Amino acid sequence: MSQGGSQLDRPHLNDPWWIRLPLIAIVVGFLVLFLLLPLVVVFVEALKGGIGPYIKAVTDPRTLAALKLTLIVSGSAVILNTIFGVMAAWCLTKFQFKGKSFLTSLIDLPFAVSPVIAGLIFVLVFGRQGWLGTWGKDFLELFGHLAGHYQNPIIHWALLKIAALADVKIIFALPGIIIATTFITFPFVARELIPLMQTQGIQNEETAASLGATGWKTFWRVTLPSIKWALLYGIILCNARAMGEFGAVSVVSGHQQKTNTLPLHIELLYNEYQFTSAYAVASILALLALVTLILKQLIESHLHSKA
Amino acid sequence: MSIEIQNVSKSFGTFAALSDVSLTVPNGKLMAWLGPSGSGKTTLLRILGGLEFGDCGKIFFDNEDITDVPTRLRQVGFVFQNYALFGHMTVFQNVAFGLTIKSKGPSKSEIREKVMDLLQKVQLEHLAHRYPNQLSGGQSQRIALARALAVNPRFLLLDEPFGALDAQVRKELRRWIRQLHEDLGLTTIFVTHDQEEALEVADQVVIMNQGKIEQIGTPQQVYDAPATPFVYRFLGNVNVLPASINKGKIKFGRTEMVLEGHATVDHSETLAFVRPHEIEISRKTLFHSAGLEVIIQKIHSAGPIAKLSLSRLDNAEKIQAEVPRRQVDSLNLKEGESVLIRIQNARVFQDDYSI
């Protein structure tokens, strides 16, 4: 907008109106058709039957369960990716080591791989018949067997607990959904931090060290405060993507009611011809997206005012 | 605190940044490490600060081997060229940083007292609650110094401390650092590529080139008696003239001059190093024609010293001369005129040793 204003003062830089007008019309038309209209349709369709059916659809126990699961999954993915993302960015930008460029491109892998394929990979790795699944079965047997040998109740109990660890169901259960979502949304935090931390360099950390700070103190007192806004921005993007993830989650959830997230639940409702309910639930996701966008905008303006 | 560097080498890949450097920094001195970029001076400074580790060699602080001691335990004040102030902290918090990170550090009021004392020392106590992006370059550099001083460092390492400042601030800060050094008596090393800065501020100058030390000495020693052609060229302007030496006389073209203190080794073809201010200019008269005949091509006379671009009459070689402005006026020198020059002092380097 400000760009347009300043262009008016520089007419010698402007093209004639018959070039500008069609170009502007194309852009605005595209935005309305592909971005604005679908959003409006979601809310219009959701409220088609009036406010009563809408509230009924939104407060349906299955919907609420899906919402709860979505929040648990996206919350877990965001926490994990914040930790991993900061660690990855920290080690990629503040240290020199062999294989650094390989690791950098590895971070982008989730962007390159189709989510459905990512989901399939996890089924193959963690599934009952998968690599770790069969290993887990052996593990379970081994520790169960060992536990049988020990009379000491504490050791017996501990070995059984360890064996039970291997028995945790991953695929077609909550852990699998969290793993898949975390994988898909991994790059958001790291990608946001790496360019910033690269331009910041390591002199602040070197200064802190020369003033007697340990690596731990340096991270909390010097590095983290200087990246906090970019980190928050990355977290918000990561969260938005985590809540909306469909492909990978669809594969690992196994299409059952208790492992339905909001996007899966919408598909289910739609396939059951419950259009109003489907749109009503979709409107929840859309609202979450809008809130995310507003937060993102606020942080972005803060980032700009800082710079 | 004296510092001893023994046989330190460091390479980055195939590039040898330092090759077998040994150096002693005497206690309480202000020392400048001078050299072009890539000469290894900053690398050596970072090795002293523990920010880099040499491939081999040892470092001693007061006879204590600290070669493998990590940065945070070295108690060294390190100041970067671009200040590296913590942008999210106020000036006060920046200076207090080193005091607040210790688990059994001083109390809040002690910290406050110490920080305000330091800010007073750098004459910036009125800026305590500003953020770094509200400071000028010179102010930032002084805050960075105060922050380094807060932890009572054993000595100070300054990496191109004036590099990012404009000329006026540079000169001011230079004098100020010299004064601060005299007040505190702290052993200080600063790295620079600006010879004027090194010669003006330091007690001792170390001149480095291609990972090696070329010469160590007081500013006067290195300026008056450069040990190598590199030092001669690096410290100030110099004319390099082809010459020959015969029986203690040095000959430029067909003009012979007797130069005092020059050895008797004959040399048919060599290079003589002559500083622009060691050239004397006179007018040719009936009775006076001894010297090299040159044509004045250009006179730059802004300031008390006039810089003359001369061209030899016999082989058109360019010579730079610096004479007092007053002399230009009294001789009424004009561009395009031909005059005589006498070389008052020249230095000749012969292979490894100089005569």
Q: Roughly what angle, to the nearest 10 degrees, separates helices A61-94 and A262-271?
A: 140
**Cα–Cα dist B187/B118, whole Å:** 18
State pLDDT tens for residues B106-119. 889 999 999 999 99
Confidence of residue B251 (pLDDT cuts 50, 70, 90): confident
Q: Is the pTM of this model over 0.90?
A: no
Distance between A86 CA and the closest CA of chain B, angstroms: 19
Q: Which residues 194-213 of A are in CB contact (within 8 Å) with B? A: 203-204, 206-213
Residues of B in contact with A212 (CB under 8 A): 72-73, 75, 98, 101-102, 151
HSE, side-chain direction, 13 A CA sphere, residue B88: 12
**Cα–Cα dist A279/A274, whole Å:** 9
Tell me what pLDDT residue B145 has: 93
**Do residues A261 and A174 touch, judged by C-beta distance below 8 A?**
no
Nearest CA in chain A to B144: A207
ipTM of the complex: 0.82
Tell me what pLDDT residue B267 has: 67
Best residue of B61, B86, B143 to probe chain A, by most A CBs closer than 10 Å: B86
Question: Given phi > 0 = left and psi -120 to 50 = alpha, else beta, which region is B28?
Answer: left
When CB atoms are compared, the residue of B74, B101, B150 closest to A221 is B101
Q: How long is chain A?
A: 307
Over 90: is that where the pLDDT of B209 sits? Answer: yes
Residues of B in contact with A211 (CB under 8 A): 72, 97-98, 101, 147-148, 150-151
Over 90: is that where the pLDDT of B148 sits? Answer: yes
Distance between B79 CA and the closest CA of chain A, angstroms: 8
Q: Which stretches of chain A drop beneath a pLDDT of 50?
A: 1-5
Over 60: is that where the pLDDT of B232 sits? Answer: yes
Query: What token pair was written down for B340?
Result: 């005589």
Beta strands B305-312 and B318-324, pairing class: antiparallel
Over 70: is that where the pLDDT of B55 sits? Answer: yes
Cβ–Cβ below 8 Å for B71 and A214: no
Number of H helices, E strands in chain B: 9, 21
What 3 state SS string does chain A have?
Answer: CHHHHHHHCCHHHCCCHHHHHHHHHHHHHHHHHHHHHHHHHHHHHHCCCCHHHHHHHHCCHHHHHHHHHHHHHHHHHHHHHHHHHHHHHHHHHHCCCCCHHHHHHHHCHHHHCCHHHHHHHHHHHHCCCCHHHHHHHHHHHHHHHHHHHCCCHHHHHHHHHHHHHHCCCCCCCHHHHHHHHHHHHHHHHHHHHHHHHHHHCCHHHHHHHHCCCCHHHHHHHHHHHHHHHHHHHHHHHHHHHHHHCCHHHHHHHCCCHHHCCHHHHHHHHHHCCCHHHHHHHHHHHHHHHHHHHHHHHHHHHHHHHHC
Q: Which of A208, A236, A298 is nearest to B88 (CA)?
A: A208
Nearest CA in chain B to A210: B72
Residues in CB range of A264: below 8 A, 6 or more apart: A66, A246, A249, A250, A253, A255
State pLDDT tens for residues A130-139. 777 677 777 7
Question: Residue B195 CA to chain centroid, in angstroms?
Answer: 4
Query: What token pair was written down for B291?
Result: 């010297």
| Residues belonging to chain B with any Cβ–Cβ distance to chain A shorter than 8 Å | 49-51, 70-78, 80, 82, 84, 86-89, 97-98, 101-102, 147-148, 150-151
**Cα–Cα dist B223/B260, whole Å:** 18
Tell me what pLDDT residue B261 has: 56
Cβ–Cβ below 8 Å for B72 and A226: no
Rounded to the nearest integer, the mean pLDDT of chain B is 88
Confidence of residue B253 (pLDDT cuts 50, 70, 90): confident
Residues of B in contact with A204 (CB under 8 A): 84, 86
Q: Roughly what angle, to the nearest 10 degrees, separates helices A100-107 and A174-200?
A: 130
Over 90: is that where the pLDDT of B187 sits? Answer: yes
Nearest CA in chain A to B73: A212
Tell me what pLDDT residue A67 has: 92
**Cα–Cα dist A70/B72, whole Å:** 45
Over 60: is that where the pLDDT of B207 sits? Answer: yes
Confidence of residue B259 (pLDDT cuts 50, 70, 90): low
- Residue B61, Cβ neighbours under 10 Å: how many? 20
When CB atoms are compared, the residue of A206, A212, A225 closest to B98 is A212
Residues of B in contact with A226 (CB under 8 A): 86-88
**Do residues A204 and A222 touch, judged by C-beta distance below 8 A?**
yes
Query: What token pair was written down for A158?
Result: 């501990």
Tell me what pLDDT residue B143 has: 94
Confidence of residue B266 (pLDDT cuts 50, 70, 90): low
Homologous superfamily (CATH) for A51-127+170-306 = MetI-like (1.10.3720.10)
In chain A, what are the domain boundaries? 1-46, 51-127+170-306
Best residue of A197, A199, A211, A226 to probe chain B, by most B CBs closer than 10 Å: A211
Tell me what pLDDT residue A2 has: 44
Cβ–Cβ below 8 Å for A210 and B148: yes
pLDDT above 90 coverage of chain B, percent: 51
3-state secondary structure of B337: coil
Nearest CA in chain A to B93: A221
